[in-house]
Protein backbone atom coordinates (compact mmCIF):
# COMPACT_ATOMS: atom_id res chain seq x y z
CA UNK A 1 0.00 0.00 0.00
CA UNK A 2 2.80 2.44 0.89
CA UNK A 3 4.45 2.04 -2.52
CA UNK A 4 1.21 2.88 -4.25
CA UNK A 5 0.69 5.89 -2.03
CA UNK A 6 4.23 7.06 -2.77
CA UNK A 7 3.61 6.79 -6.51
CA UNK A 8 0.30 8.59 -6.07
CA UNK A 9 1.92 11.41 -4.08
CA UNK A 10 -0.03 14.56 -4.89
CA UNK A 11 -1.88 12.75 -7.68
CA UNK A 12 -4.98 14.76 -6.94
CA UNK A 13 -3.48 18.15 -6.16
CA UNK A 14 -1.36 18.19 -9.30
CA UNK A 15 2.00 18.74 -7.60
CA UNK A 16 5.23 16.89 -8.36
CA UNK A 17 8.32 16.28 -6.30
CA UNK A 18 10.83 18.19 -8.40
CA UNK A 19 10.62 20.82 -11.07
CA UNK A 20 11.62 20.22 -14.66
CA UNK A 21 11.38 22.55 -17.62
CA UNK A 22 10.01 19.82 -19.93
CA UNK A 23 7.01 17.58 -19.27
CA UNK A 24 5.11 15.03 -21.31
CA UNK A 25 1.44 14.43 -20.56
CA UNK A 26 0.27 10.92 -21.43
CA UNK A 27 -3.46 10.30 -21.68
CA UNK A 28 -4.06 6.55 -21.69
CA UNK A 29 -7.62 6.11 -22.90
CA UNK A 30 -9.73 3.07 -23.73
CA UNK A 31 -9.35 3.48 -27.49
CA UNK A 32 -6.13 5.50 -27.90
CA UNK A 33 -3.11 7.00 -26.18
CA UNK A 34 -2.34 10.69 -26.63
CA UNK A 35 0.84 12.52 -25.67
CA UNK A 36 1.77 16.21 -25.50
CA UNK A 37 5.26 17.49 -24.65
CA UNK A 38 5.62 21.06 -23.37
CA UNK A 39 8.67 23.06 -22.44
CA UNK A 40 8.99 26.22 -20.36
CA UNK A 41 11.53 28.65 -21.74
CA UNK A 42 12.01 32.21 -20.43
CA UNK A 43 8.54 32.19 -18.91
CA UNK A 44 6.86 30.97 -22.09
CA UNK A 45 5.24 27.56 -22.55
CA UNK A 46 6.20 25.96 -25.87
CA UNK A 47 4.59 23.03 -27.65
CA UNK A 48 7.45 20.70 -28.59
CA UNK A 49 5.54 17.69 -29.91
CA UNK A 50 2.27 15.80 -29.71
CA UNK A 51 0.85 12.58 -31.10
CA UNK A 52 -1.73 9.84 -30.86
CA UNK A 53 -1.85 6.10 -31.42
CA UNK A 54 -5.07 4.06 -31.81
CA UNK A 55 -5.18 0.97 -29.59
CA UNK A 56 -7.63 -1.07 -31.67
CA UNK A 57 -4.91 -2.58 -33.91
CA UNK A 58 -3.02 -3.68 -30.78
CA UNK A 59 -6.09 -5.56 -29.51
CA UNK A 60 -6.24 -7.93 -32.49
CA UNK A 61 -5.31 -8.04 -36.16
CA UNK A 62 -8.75 -6.77 -37.20
CA UNK A 63 -8.84 -4.01 -34.61
CA UNK A 64 -9.63 -0.47 -35.82
CA UNK A 65 -9.39 3.09 -34.56
CA UNK A 66 -12.17 4.05 -32.15
CA UNK A 67 -12.58 0.51 -30.84
CA UNK A 68 -12.58 -0.03 -27.06
CA UNK A 69 -9.70 -2.16 -25.80
CA UNK A 70 -8.49 -4.05 -22.74
CA UNK A 71 -4.79 -4.57 -23.38
CA UNK A 72 -2.30 -6.62 -21.41
CA UNK A 73 0.38 -4.54 -19.69
CA UNK A 74 3.10 -5.60 -22.13
CA UNK A 75 1.01 -4.73 -25.19
CA UNK A 76 0.03 -1.36 -23.68
CA UNK A 77 3.73 -0.63 -23.06
CA UNK A 78 4.49 -1.50 -26.69
CA UNK A 79 1.81 0.91 -27.94
CA UNK A 80 3.11 3.69 -25.68
CA UNK A 81 6.70 3.04 -26.76
CA UNK A 82 5.68 3.30 -30.41
CA UNK A 83 3.88 6.60 -29.76
CA UNK A 84 6.89 8.02 -27.91
CA UNK A 85 9.19 7.09 -30.78
CA UNK A 86 6.86 8.35 -33.52
CA UNK A 87 6.23 11.66 -31.76
CA UNK A 88 9.89 12.02 -30.80
CA UNK A 89 9.11 12.52 -27.11
CA UNK A 90 12.30 13.34 -25.19
CA UNK A 91 11.00 14.51 -21.79
CA UNK A 92 12.22 12.61 -18.75
CA UNK A 93 9.33 13.72 -16.55
CA UNK A 94 5.92 12.25 -17.33
CA UNK A 95 2.45 12.84 -15.95
CA UNK A 96 -0.02 10.04 -16.74
CA UNK A 97 -3.80 10.24 -16.61
CA UNK A 98 -5.94 8.00 -14.44
CA UNK A 99 -9.22 7.28 -16.22
CA UNK A 100 -12.44 8.46 -14.60
CA UNK A 101 -13.76 4.97 -15.36
CA UNK A 102 -11.25 3.55 -12.86
CA UNK A 103 -11.70 6.27 -10.26
CA UNK A 104 -14.49 7.91 -8.34
CA UNK A 105 -15.22 11.59 -7.75
CA UNK A 106 -18.09 12.55 -5.47
CA UNK A 107 -19.16 15.21 -2.99
CA UNK A 108 -19.96 14.42 0.63
CA UNK A 109 -22.17 16.61 2.79
CA UNK A 110 -21.16 16.15 6.40
CA UNK A 111 -21.97 18.00 9.62
CA UNK A 112 -19.75 20.93 10.52
CA UNK A 113 -16.88 19.49 12.58
CA UNK A 114 -13.34 20.42 13.47
CA UNK A 115 -10.39 19.45 11.27
CA UNK A 116 -9.11 16.73 13.64
CA UNK A 117 -12.31 14.73 13.27
CA UNK A 118 -12.67 15.30 9.53
CA UNK A 119 -10.40 12.50 8.30
CA UNK A 120 -12.24 9.74 10.16
CA UNK A 121 -15.68 11.03 9.18
CA UNK A 122 -14.74 11.37 5.50
CA UNK A 123 -13.38 7.82 5.38
CA UNK A 124 -16.46 6.40 7.11
CA UNK A 125 -18.84 8.24 4.77
CA UNK A 126 -16.77 7.41 1.68
CA UNK A 127 -17.30 3.69 2.31
CA UNK A 128 -20.92 4.16 1.23
CA UNK A 129 -19.82 5.30 -2.25
CA UNK A 130 -16.81 3.06 -2.87
CA UNK A 131 -17.73 -0.53 -3.88
CA UNK A 132 -14.39 -2.03 -2.74
CA UNK A 133 -12.52 -2.01 0.61
CA UNK A 134 -10.78 1.28 1.33
CA UNK A 135 -7.50 -0.65 1.59
CA UNK A 136 -7.74 -1.18 -2.20
CA UNK A 137 -7.93 2.52 -3.06
CA UNK A 138 -5.95 5.71 -2.55
CA UNK A 139 -8.22 8.41 -1.20
CA UNK A 140 -7.89 12.18 -1.11
CA UNK A 141 -10.32 15.00 -0.37
CA UNK A 142 -10.68 18.77 -0.17
CA UNK A 143 -13.14 20.96 1.69
CA UNK A 144 -15.15 22.96 -0.85
CA UNK A 145 -15.28 26.66 0.13
CA UNK A 146 -18.49 27.49 1.96
CA UNK A 147 -21.34 28.82 -0.11
CA UNK A 148 -22.17 32.44 0.48
CA UNK A 149 -25.88 32.89 1.01
CA UNK A 150 -27.32 36.31 0.36
CA UNK A 151 -30.35 37.52 2.25
CA UNK A 152 -32.72 40.29 1.22
CA UNK A 153 -29.93 42.74 1.92
CA UNK A 154 -27.21 41.51 -0.44
CA UNK A 155 -24.58 43.60 1.28
CA UNK A 156 -24.78 41.27 4.29
CA UNK A 157 -23.31 37.82 3.78
CA UNK A 158 -24.37 34.94 5.98
CA UNK A 159 -21.90 32.10 6.18
CA UNK A 160 -23.50 28.66 6.22
CA UNK A 161 -22.10 26.63 9.14
CA UNK A 162 -24.61 23.75 9.30
CA UNK A 163 -22.61 21.41 7.08
CA UNK A 164 -19.46 21.02 5.00
CA UNK A 165 -19.13 19.99 1.35
CA UNK A 166 -16.13 17.74 0.77
CA UNK A 167 -14.89 16.75 -2.69
CA UNK A 168 -13.59 13.17 -2.52
CA UNK A 169 -11.51 11.38 -5.15
CA UNK A 170 -10.53 7.71 -5.04
CA UNK A 171 -8.27 5.69 -7.34
CA UNK A 172 -7.88 1.92 -7.29
CA UNK A 173 -4.34 0.97 -6.33
CA UNK A 174 -4.18 -1.74 -8.99
CA UNK A 175 -4.65 0.89 -11.72
CA UNK A 176 -1.61 2.88 -10.65
CA UNK A 177 0.35 -0.36 -10.17
CA UNK A 178 -0.45 -1.24 -13.79
CA UNK A 179 0.66 2.16 -15.08
CA UNK A 180 3.82 2.00 -12.94
CA UNK A 181 4.67 -1.32 -14.57
CA UNK A 182 4.12 0.16 -18.05
CA UNK A 183 6.18 3.26 -17.28
CA UNK A 184 9.06 1.35 -15.69
CA UNK A 185 9.23 -1.10 -18.59
CA UNK A 186 9.91 1.81 -20.95
CA UNK A 187 12.91 2.90 -18.90
CA UNK A 188 12.88 6.46 -20.26
CA UNK A 189 11.23 8.47 -17.46
CA UNK A 190 13.19 9.49 -14.38
CA UNK A 191 10.02 10.71 -12.70
CA UNK A 192 6.37 9.76 -13.16
CA UNK A 193 3.26 11.08 -11.45
CA UNK A 194 -0.47 10.61 -11.94
CA UNK A 195 -3.66 12.63 -12.03
CA UNK A 196 -7.34 11.85 -12.57
CA UNK A 197 -8.21 12.88 -16.12
CA UNK A 198 -11.07 15.20 -15.11
CA UNK A 199 -8.70 17.56 -13.27
CA UNK A 200 -6.25 17.48 -16.19
CA UNK A 201 -9.03 18.34 -18.65
CA UNK A 202 -10.04 21.31 -16.50
CA UNK A 203 -6.46 22.61 -16.44
CA UNK A 204 -6.13 22.12 -20.19
CA UNK A 205 -9.47 23.71 -21.09
CA UNK A 206 -10.16 26.54 -18.66
CA UNK A 207 -8.76 30.04 -18.81
CA UNK A 208 -10.05 32.56 -16.29
CA UNK A 209 -13.66 31.48 -15.93
CA UNK A 210 -15.22 32.63 -12.65
CA UNK A 211 -18.91 32.02 -13.34
CA UNK A 212 -20.15 28.39 -13.24
CA UNK A 213 -19.00 26.42 -16.30
CA UNK A 214 -19.96 22.91 -17.35
CA UNK A 215 -17.28 20.72 -18.91
CA UNK A 216 -18.44 17.74 -20.98
CA UNK A 217 -15.74 15.20 -21.78
CA UNK A 218 -17.24 12.98 -24.49
CA UNK A 219 -14.80 10.10 -24.82
CA UNK A 220 -14.88 6.69 -26.47
CA UNK A 221 -15.94 4.73 -23.39
CA UNK A 222 -18.12 7.29 -21.63
CA UNK A 223 -19.11 10.88 -20.93
CA UNK A 224 -17.89 12.84 -17.91
CA UNK A 225 -19.87 15.92 -16.86
CA UNK A 226 -18.45 18.43 -14.38
CA UNK A 227 -19.68 21.80 -13.17
CA UNK A 228 -16.81 24.01 -12.05
CA UNK A 229 -17.01 27.33 -10.23
CA UNK A 230 -13.93 29.33 -9.21
CA UNK A 231 -11.83 26.30 -10.10
CA UNK A 232 -13.79 24.00 -7.77
CA UNK A 233 -15.72 20.94 -8.98
CA UNK A 234 -19.25 21.43 -7.67
CA UNK A 235 -20.97 18.58 -9.53
CA UNK A 236 -19.62 15.49 -11.25
CA UNK A 237 -21.36 12.66 -13.08
CA UNK A 238 -20.05 9.96 -15.40
CA UNK A 239 -21.93 7.60 -17.70
CA UNK A 240 -20.43 4.55 -19.42
CA UNK A 241 -21.86 5.26 -22.83
CA UNK A 242 -19.50 7.13 -25.13
CA UNK A 243 -18.78 7.49 -28.83
CA UNK A 244 -17.77 3.82 -29.23
CA UNK A 245 -21.26 2.86 -28.05
CA UNK A 246 -22.74 4.82 -30.96
CA UNK A 247 -20.51 2.96 -33.42
CA UNK A 248 -21.39 -0.40 -31.85
CA UNK A 249 -25.09 0.42 -32.17
CA UNK A 250 -24.64 1.20 -35.86
CA UNK A 251 -22.56 -1.95 -36.32
CA UNK A 252 -25.24 -4.21 -34.84
CA UNK A 253 -28.30 -2.50 -36.33
CA UNK A 254 -26.91 -2.14 -39.85
CA UNK A 255 -24.96 -5.42 -39.73
CA UNK A 256 -21.69 -3.83 -40.83
CA UNK A 257 -18.14 -3.96 -39.46
CA UNK A 258 -16.93 -1.50 -36.81
CA UNK A 259 -14.70 0.43 -39.20
CA UNK A 260 -17.64 1.15 -41.53
CA UNK A 261 -19.80 2.08 -38.54
CA UNK A 262 -17.17 4.61 -37.40
CA UNK A 263 -17.13 6.15 -40.86
CA UNK A 264 -20.92 6.46 -41.00
CA UNK A 265 -21.03 7.92 -37.48
CA UNK A 266 -18.65 10.71 -38.48
CA UNK A 267 -20.47 11.38 -41.75
CA UNK A 268 -24.02 11.43 -40.35
CA UNK A 269 -23.80 12.48 -36.70
CA UNK A 270 -26.85 14.47 -35.62
CA UNK A 271 -27.41 16.00 -39.06
CA UNK A 272 -31.13 15.63 -39.80
CA UNK A 273 -30.52 16.58 -43.40
CA UNK A 274 -28.30 13.57 -44.07
CA UNK A 275 -29.82 11.07 -46.49
CA UNK A 276 -28.95 8.11 -44.26
CA UNK A 277 -32.06 8.45 -42.11
CA UNK A 278 -31.67 5.03 -40.50
CA UNK A 279 -28.17 5.80 -39.25
CA UNK A 280 -29.30 9.22 -38.01
CA UNK A 281 -32.11 7.65 -35.97
CA UNK A 282 -29.73 5.14 -34.38
CA UNK A 283 -27.20 7.83 -33.44
CA UNK A 284 -29.91 10.24 -32.27
CA UNK A 285 -31.38 7.61 -29.94
CA UNK A 286 -27.97 6.99 -28.37
CA UNK A 287 -27.17 10.67 -27.95
CA UNK A 288 -30.60 11.47 -26.46
CA UNK A 289 -29.62 9.44 -23.41
CA UNK A 290 -26.50 11.60 -23.05
CA UNK A 291 -28.57 14.77 -23.44
CA UNK A 292 -30.96 13.63 -20.70
CA UNK A 293 -28.04 13.08 -18.29
CA UNK A 294 -26.60 16.50 -19.15
CA UNK A 295 -30.00 18.04 -18.44
CA UNK A 296 -30.11 16.33 -15.03
CA UNK A 297 -26.70 17.71 -14.05
CA UNK A 298 -27.65 21.23 -15.14
CA UNK A 299 -30.96 21.03 -13.24
CA UNK A 300 -29.35 19.63 -10.07
CA UNK A 301 -26.63 22.28 -10.03
CA UNK A 302 -28.89 25.26 -10.68
CA UNK A 303 -31.44 24.02 -8.14
CA UNK A 304 -28.84 23.59 -5.38
CA UNK A 305 -26.64 26.62 -6.02
CA UNK A 306 -29.28 29.02 -7.36
CA UNK A 307 -26.95 30.10 -10.19
CA UNK A 308 -27.15 29.55 -13.96
CA UNK A 309 -24.39 27.74 -15.84
CA UNK A 310 -22.74 30.40 -18.01
CA UNK A 311 -20.96 28.22 -20.55
CA UNK A 312 -20.33 24.64 -21.70
CA UNK A 313 -16.83 23.55 -22.74
CA UNK A 314 -16.54 20.40 -24.87
CA UNK A 315 -13.61 18.00 -24.74
CA UNK A 316 -13.04 14.48 -26.06
CA UNK A 317 -13.23 13.13 -29.59
CA UNK A 318 -16.95 12.36 -29.31
CA UNK A 319 -17.71 16.07 -28.95
CA UNK A 320 -16.81 16.48 -32.62
CA UNK A 321 -19.93 14.52 -33.62
CA UNK A 322 -21.71 16.55 -36.28
CA UNK A 323 -24.28 19.01 -34.87
CA UNK A 324 -23.64 17.88 -31.27
CA UNK A 325 -22.42 21.32 -30.21
CA UNK A 326 -25.29 23.06 -32.01
CA UNK A 327 -27.89 20.79 -30.42
CA UNK A 328 -26.50 21.46 -26.95
CA UNK A 329 -26.77 25.21 -27.46
CA UNK A 330 -30.31 25.04 -28.81
CA UNK A 331 -31.59 22.60 -26.16
CA UNK A 332 -30.26 24.41 -23.10
CA UNK A 333 -29.65 27.94 -24.39
CA UNK A 334 -26.11 27.91 -22.99
CA UNK A 335 -23.11 29.17 -24.96
CA UNK A 336 -21.13 26.08 -25.99
CA UNK A 337 -17.50 26.07 -27.18
CA UNK A 338 -14.82 23.52 -27.99
CA UNK A 339 -11.82 23.39 -25.68
CA UNK A 340 -8.70 25.02 -27.11
CA UNK A 341 -5.89 23.57 -24.97
CA UNK A 342 -3.18 24.22 -27.55
CA UNK A 343 -3.98 27.92 -27.17
CA UNK A 344 -2.11 27.72 -23.85
CA UNK A 345 1.20 27.02 -25.58
CA UNK A 346 3.22 28.72 -28.32
CA UNK A 347 3.32 26.75 -31.57
CA UNK A 348 4.08 27.38 -35.27
CA UNK A 349 1.44 29.48 -37.05
CA UNK A 350 1.00 26.93 -39.83
CA UNK A 351 -0.30 24.43 -37.25
CA UNK A 352 -2.98 26.76 -35.89
CA UNK A 353 -5.99 25.26 -37.70
CA UNK A 354 -4.82 21.68 -37.18
CA UNK A 355 -4.34 22.25 -33.45
CA UNK A 356 -7.70 23.97 -33.06
CA UNK A 357 -9.45 20.98 -34.61
CA UNK A 358 -7.45 18.50 -32.54
CA UNK A 359 -7.80 20.51 -29.33
CA UNK A 360 -10.81 18.80 -27.71
CA UNK A 361 -9.12 15.40 -27.99
CA UNK A 362 -5.86 16.60 -26.41
CA UNK A 363 -7.28 18.59 -23.48
CA UNK A 364 -6.32 15.89 -20.97
CA UNK A 365 -2.79 15.22 -22.24
CA UNK A 366 -1.97 18.92 -22.53
CA UNK A 367 -3.46 19.55 -19.07
CA UNK A 368 -1.22 16.79 -17.71
CA UNK A 369 1.89 18.35 -19.27
CA UNK A 370 0.91 21.75 -17.86
CA UNK A 371 0.77 20.31 -14.35
CA UNK A 372 4.38 21.09 -13.46
CA UNK A 373 4.83 24.17 -15.64
CA UNK A 374 2.18 26.52 -14.30
How many Å apart are CA 148 and CA 158, to the nearest integer?
6
Question: In this model, does residue 270 exceed pLDDT 80?
Answer: yes
Q: Which of 47, 158, 169, 44 is nearest to 106 (CA)?
A: 169
Say which CATH class 2-370 falls into.
alpha beta
Tell me what the pLDDT averaged over the chain comes to.
Answer: 87
Answer for the pair 220, 245: CB distance below 8 angstroms, yes or no: no
Range 33-39 average pLDDT: 97
In degrees and rounded to multiples of 5, residue 170 shows phi and psi of: -135, 140
Q: Which of 245, 222, 224, 223 is nearest to 233 (CA)?
A: 224
Is the pTM here over 0.95, yes or no? Answer: no
pLDDT band at 221 (very low <50, low <70, confident <90, very high): very high
Least confident window among 74-78, 145-149, 360-364: 145-149
pLDDT-above-90 percentage for the chain: 63
Q: Give me the count of residues in the chain.
A: 374
Range 78-91 average pLDDT: 96
Q: Which of 357, 353, 309, 365 is nearest to 332 (CA)?
A: 309
| Tally of CA atoms within 13 A in the half-sphere of 317 that contains its CB | 23
**Buried b / exposed e across 75-108, counting CB within 10 Å, b at 16+?**
ebbbbbbebbeebebebebbbbbbbbbbbbbbeb
Least confident window among 97-111, 305-319, 339-353: 97-111
Residues forming a β-bridge with 33: 28, 53
Amino acid sequence: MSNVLDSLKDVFSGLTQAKSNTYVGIDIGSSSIKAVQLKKDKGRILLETYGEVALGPYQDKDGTAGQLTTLETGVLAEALRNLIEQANVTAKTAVISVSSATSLIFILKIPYINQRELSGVVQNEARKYIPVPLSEVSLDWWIIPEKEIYGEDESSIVKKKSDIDVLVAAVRNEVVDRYNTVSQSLGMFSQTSYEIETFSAIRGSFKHELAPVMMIDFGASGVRMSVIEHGVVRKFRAINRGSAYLSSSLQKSLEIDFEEAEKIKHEVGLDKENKNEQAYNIINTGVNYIFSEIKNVIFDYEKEYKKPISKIILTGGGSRLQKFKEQLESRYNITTVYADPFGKALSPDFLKEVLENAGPEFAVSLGLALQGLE
